Structure 1
Amino acid sequence: MGYINHGSMSAIGIIFPVLAALSLAVRMYGWRHHSPIFEIDDILVVPAGLLTIAAGVALVIGTQMHIISEHSEAASTDADSAKLGKFEYAFWMGHVLAIGFIKLTILFLLRRVFKGRIHRTAFDYSNWTLIILVTLWTLVFLFFDIFACGTTPQASWESWNSLRKNCIDTFAMQTGGAVFSWVLDLAIFVEPLVMIRTLNMNRKRKIQTSLVFLCSGFAVVAGLLRMIPWIQLHVQDITHPTLRILATTFPISDQQGIISIVLFWTYMEIGVGFIVSCVPRIAWVLDKISLDPIISKIRSFPSNASLLKERYAHRRVDESEQSQSPWITMVRTKTSSGHRSDEDVELATAKNHI
């Protein structure tokens, strides 16, 4: 399967949940210390983050249970196929909600920055249009994922024939959802870049702000890489013995391999999209945090070290003097008092005897 294996699937299932948790922690710090009120995007980011973490955990568990990230073998049983189908059924519902909340988080964040203060602007109309379209996309494709097989969802995982006969064309459904999602990603990517020029800030700040919002380009690329496999699956003849997806050829019977590569790029879009939705707020929080105390401590470290070294040297000298002070005091006392020592008395007595 090439790059889709136990290691890569487990890696993205661990890395993105960790990054999502860290992003939420930074935003929580910003809420507590720098933000006076909650905005709508601050609320929407919570379910988006939880769904991103849950999807990553599901990938890791599915990999460890050998449900995904492998190839279907000739000896695969109906039970193995059912496990894969149930996993896929639950994941597609979760991915629609995750992507929907992520897009809405970004759109409401853009409203905070660019919305008109006195009267409605072109941005207000375009932004509300995108919010409505994303909401409709989420509700419609969530409904399709749940009721693709009518009131008998088990038909989607009982067998391949059952899926084709009792359910709608799921390949066409997922392809349509991926294409529409990517078009929305592209619109969300362009919207802030057009509006930044209207902000009342100097050129340097405009460039910095543009760089922050350019990060959403990664979400556009991730969405494109999720869309391509679905289009390839939809246009190819499923009666052919092999399918080619992203330069990788799979036997038509290798359901696990085909689904794994689609799951991989789907979660890549979710993980990258969530991180992108948090970048502007994280940049804002970091900009509010003053680094002067840390820099001053780093700069004062050499002087503190030299001061400690001098104190240590003085302490060694003092200890040396204290260790010799009883003998020095004795000698000084004897010399200053004018009395001779016992050795001097004995020497004088010997001279008298001579």
Structure 2
Amino acid sequence: MTIASARPAPASRLKVRPAAEARGVLVIIALGLVGYFVFPDDLAFLTRLITIALLVISLDLVTGYCGVATLGQAAMFGVGAYAVGNACLAGLTDPVMLLFVGMAAGAAAGLASGALITRFHGLPQLVLSIALGQLVGALANKLSGWTGGSDGLSGITPSPVLGLFAFDLYSRTAYVFSLVVLALVFALLLRFMRSPFGLLCRGIRDDALRARMIGAAVYPRLVIMYGLSGAVAGIGGALAAITTGVVGLDSVSFERSAEALVMLVLGGTGTLWGALTGALVFQIFEHFVAATNPFHWMSMVGLLLIVIVVFAPRGLAHGAAVLWARLRVRGAAP
């Protein structure tokens, strides 16, 4: 090795360019503006869509990037929502502070469950995640003093955002607030997943044995990623509690975890854009189909899933990328 080759790379080469993060924020804000002006009467639905999108993104962090099989992700979403509801009823009404409460509660739940789930692999891992999710659901039903039980936790009334923008019946403030939170979280995750830690998690997903052979501590990194996933899910749960004013048992249900996994597979695992795409497409399709045909909408949703899995088995995001690449090649051909 020569002295020249041993020199560190120039600072310009080591600098991380924020282009991907900026594009992510711009795309989300652009889509949000379209939703705001084109569907002004559906802002409550679009706000709920954002909260579920955060849940799907959190699931992608552990399933798509780390290869951890789980069907209990809604537990962290619900824990964040219940924590925010109780904090608000106790007198903490600032929406920004409530977001941090939900994030901390979700992260704590993620670290606790991840410490157990990531010790196993395959089917035991999946069964443990289901068991923990069912345990959280049962506790939420029994601890009615904190959760409201089957009636739900109601009376959650946050104060205006930054003391200026009050939550209104048309969900304008709730939608804009949720959109800004989604854009910021998405940009931070794009940067984090391109960091050495994020790249190592991908390596663990592809070959955990090889990662151990190069000296990587696999288990602690999986637990940390589970904690990050819980934080993102907790933010989604916090937004749900803040914007709707009520938290029900459905927030920790197995059905919500299963739907999140379906959305992730629909959009494509291992890419944040895939998680976001799957959440958007599934919920928008379900919303409009259910309104158009309330008797057979589940059959139509099932048909959509079958078609996408058959023709785009790696998800909509990957299928769209492949199609775009082919179109560019055809366009460049003489």
TM range (shorter): under 0.3
**TM value normalised by structure 2:** 0.24
**TM value normalised by structure 1:** 0.23
Higher relative contact order by CA 8 Å / sep ≥ 6: 1 or 2?
2
